[in-house]
């Protein structure tokens, strides 16, 4: 039996080996660093998920409390109980909802036939209701009931609100108004020329 070395002696040799001891020390240092790193990660992660100033400290304390040996369990626990969405995700979602709402509001309905009309149409193509007019001065679309242009302040001719017989004359009327005026900055020919 002399040929077989004592297992206890082998183990003893193993753990007193300087290379093994160095490796063991490095593993311990690594685990401790990982433990503290996860605690810091939990702190930052909770900061990104809540506006509460206290909760991030609780998250880090949870990791620290479980010691370097068991902190992995606290890590799992934290991932399970943390708020599902980060603040950035919540913000993004509210932005998306807002733009969706704006999109819906943009799709207006004709006041007469309830057909869907675009915000910049002059007449409803379905029932010929006048939806907008063109300002005689700034040529922007204005509400038919406006007596004065909200954009440039020009008095408007008497409103022809929702006349069902506006018909095809409406757009051409508007373009006529547009064309009979000179482009901005240039006086009408003959009007002010010497």
Least distance CB 103 / Zn ion (angstroms): 21
Least distance CB 57 / Zn ion (angstroms): 59
Positive or negative, the Cα torsion across 111, 116, 119, 120?
negative
DSSP string, 29-60: HHHHHHHHHHHHHHHHHHHHH-S-SSHHHHHH
Least distance CB 42 / Zn ion (angstroms): 59
Q: Which is nearer to Zn ion, 58 or 151 (CB)?
A: 151
Q: Which is nearer to Zn ion, 38 or 134 (CB)?
A: 134
Least distance CB 193 / Zn ion (angstroms): 26
In sequence order, which ranges of 82-168 are alpha helices (DSSP H)? 87-106
> Which one, of 149, 147, 171, lies nearest residue 161 by Cα?
147
Least distance CB 87 / Zn ion (angstroms): 43
Q: Which is nearer to Zn ion, 82 or 140 (CB)?
A: 140
Q: How far is residue 8's CA from residue 143's CA, in Å, rounded to a whole number? A: 97
Binding-site ranges for Zn ion (CB under 5 A): 110, 112-113, 115, 124, 126-127, 129, 135, 137-138, 149, 151-152, 154
> Which one, of 130, 126, 109, 127, lies nearest residue 118 by Cα?
109
Give the H/E segment covering residue 82: none
Q: Which is nearer to Zn ion, 27 or 152 (CB)?
A: 152
Q: Which is nearer to Zn ion, 93 or 114 (CB)?
A: 114
């Amino acid at each position: 039996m002399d040929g077989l070395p004592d297992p206890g002696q082998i183990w003893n040799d193993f753990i007193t080996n300087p290379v093994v001891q160095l490796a063991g020390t490095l593993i311990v240092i690594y685990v401790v660093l990982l433990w503290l790193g996860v605690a810091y990660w939990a702190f930052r992660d909770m900061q990104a998920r809540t506006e509460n100033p206290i909760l991030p400290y609780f998250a880090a304390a949870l990791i620290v409390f479980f010691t370097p040996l068991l902190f992995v369990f606290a890590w799992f626990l934290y991932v399970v109980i943390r708020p599902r969405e980060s603040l950035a995700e919540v913000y993004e979602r509210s932005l998306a909802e807002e733009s969706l709402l704006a999109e819906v509001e943009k799709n207006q309905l004709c006041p007469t036939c309830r057909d869907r009309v675009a915000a910049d149409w002059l007449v409803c193509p379905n029932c010929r209701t006048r939806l907008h007019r063109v300002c005689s001065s700034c040529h922007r679309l204005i509400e038919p009931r406006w007596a004065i242009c909200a954009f440039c302040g020009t008095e408007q001719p008497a409103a022809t609100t929702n006349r069902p017989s506006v018909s095809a004359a409406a757009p051409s009327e508007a373009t006529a108004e547009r064309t009979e005026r000179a482009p901005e900055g240039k006086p009408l020919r003959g009007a002010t020329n010497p």
